[in-house]
Amino acid sequence: MSFEHTTVLLNEAIDALVTDPAGLYVDGTFGRGGHSRALLARLEPAGRLIAFDKDPEAIAAALDDPRFTICHASFAAMREELAARGIERVDGVLLDLGISSPQIDNPARGFSFRFDGPLDMRMDPTRGESAADFLARADERLIAQVVRDYGEERFAASISKAIVARREGGNPVRTTAELAELVARSVKSREPGQDPATRTFQALRIFVNAELEELEQGLTAALALLAPGGRLVVISFHSLEDRIVKTFIARESRAEVDRRAPFAPPRRPLRLRPVARIKPDVGEVRANPRSRSAVLRVAERLDEGGSL
């Protein structure tokens, strides 16, 4: 089956990222290649693009361009992967976080409560533990913690209790429809326009794929790789992601000074300059409702002295 993906904030992201058409760039979340295609269209023949993705289906959709290379790995490992290729500096890093429409719309991947399918949720289904396997072995306290912390779900305890009770009754949750039905019975009130399973599915997906931990690692790796003047461009789709990105940029945009020795060199120099925060316009949200929660943040790398 073929599943299409509409790239969010496409022109805004590429406009913010490309400072040197002959430079070397990283697309840390290739997906179906929307941003990569647009980026390559901006690059000169001497330009290069290296992309990363954990999903084998995304790797199979790789572009045929001599300037393009794709790595079957998480963007959290970009520094090590590039070092193995002899690359120590890049001119820009783009991260389009979350999941792609093909992943959501394919019932076999188990990401959506809109379709019945195996409760998998792994970005890379060849590695790690599926959501169903996690729910089959985790205790009630851990399940509640995951649903509460990663889904910001206030009925996490009730949902966890119901999952464990069903499992102890000899019928563990194995499909998306089973989980969605169980959550609907456990949630006491519903947010207008939102399925009661939304937060639980988000939580399990984030946990199974270690998305927030990998985001923090990826931001640190990107900062280490960026040459002065290089851009970090990140598109987030929910508050947990955006909070991490916002905090990271804010922290690296301040020098850390030892108050006991105010005239000494800072213990941590100023390394980033915030450039922009961009939301989709009305036209994009109307054309692609999945873009409505997107936030694009841009920062520019400074040298260790705090200048470009």
Q: What is the pLDDT of residues 193-229, one digit of tens each?
A: 789 999 999 999 999 999 999 999 999 999 999 999 9
What does the pLDDT average to over 43-69?
95
Q: What is the CATH number of domain 10-101+211-301?
A: 3.40.50.150
Q: Which fold has domain 124-208?
A: DNA polymerase; domain 1 (1.10.150)
Whole-angstrom distance, CA of residue 124 vs CA of residue 122: 5
What digits encode the pLDDT tens for the residues 90-117? 999 999 998 888 888 899 999 999 999 9
Q: Where are the domains of the chain?
A: 10-101+211-301, 124-208
- Helices then strands, counting H and E runs in the chain, come out as 13, 7
Instruction: List, in order, residues 6 or more apart from 164 with CB less than 8 Å away.
Output: 139, 140, 143
Quick check: 79 and 57 in contact, CB under 8 A?
no
Q: In this structure, are strands 295-301 and 272-278 parallel, antiparallel, or unpaired?
A: antiparallel
pLDDT at res. 146: 98
Q: Is 10-101+211-301's fold the same as 124-208's?
A: no
Residue 308's identity, in one-letter code, is: L
Tokens of 131: 């959501």
7-11, 111-115, 186-190: least confident range? 186-190
